[in-house]
Structure 1
């Protein structure tokens, strides 16, 4: 276990230029808090449920950090010119990407929690307690890992570093229910929300905010959705790694 954590820490230090204090604060604290303030303020202006938007924005902040981190853990190998060397090593790529995900999962969890605390303090509103939110955020990390692993697999063959995570974050903003309730989406988009991470979790959050309590079925569906994404992403990675290795031969 110590070796796994050491490997994860080394990959983080080697592949990410935001390890400097200014880069970290701007990308991991200022940006997500700013986005949460904007979305919550817009929701307040249009008289929507700001509690739901505040929670959703905080979850999105944590999940976004995982998505970008896991995608760039592969994509930066291409940027730094080391992808060819890495592909030539006997290291199992799926296991390597999972190890590299550890700092980003911890980072995303901390970022999501900080975003929630700051926004709750600014708006003087605590939709749910800190402990329940920590549990909700932990469950959100399952879906984040699955979608992040999917983006990491695509990064082996997609040259644009930010295409995948940017598109994934946009999909989450629109389809996951963190900002827009699914029932307000166009009819043809509503069925797609069932397979998007965070959608079932936000449904459970919405029920809790209306006094119905936590819906265990929706929470279980969220966990299942996350694990399905992990399975699909793992299969995709075997394909993309072989394709990337064939390209560099």
Structure 2
């Protein structure tokens, strides 16, 4: 059998590989640069993209993805031995975690409850287990997944300062009548606005603008980032 690949072509392909990596890096970096928009543009975006107004649990659930179900009674090997014939859920975001499927399912169930606005939303998810059990690895993966979707943050129009608590524009709609109008016009569930609180920082700037939110604020799309200290803590 003859190998038709010349040494030159092999060298050329390997030489192009770093360039491809750097191009991908640049594209990824540029895709996550901050993007400015008006309050009206943000609300219009919410019509088409539910992630624009989703809470943190909803964004995380979307990043985790839908599971595939495995009947371990029909599987030979480690999974069958560990789960003894039970049906387990395998999530794409955790496909390299083996033996932790039941723990991951509990995490997902907690997030589902929080996404629906139940008491789970007020609770802290606490991982307890022996040393080497994978708690830190699960926590790190969850933080990575939190960086998948952007968030939309109020910004002071005059100074360009972002809200120090990275608050959503939905906190501007404080009374029931406003929430109903916004919900009917842009498809944003009222519960998303009801739970959004306006910070003292935003309240002060709104007062300085004589109650005109368009005068006080615009909106910036930013990406959660542990390294940049945006919406993900270390």
Please give the TM-score of this superposition, normalised by the length of structure 1: 0.29
Identify, as 1 or 2, the structure richer in helix: 1
The structure in which a higher percent of residues are strand is 2
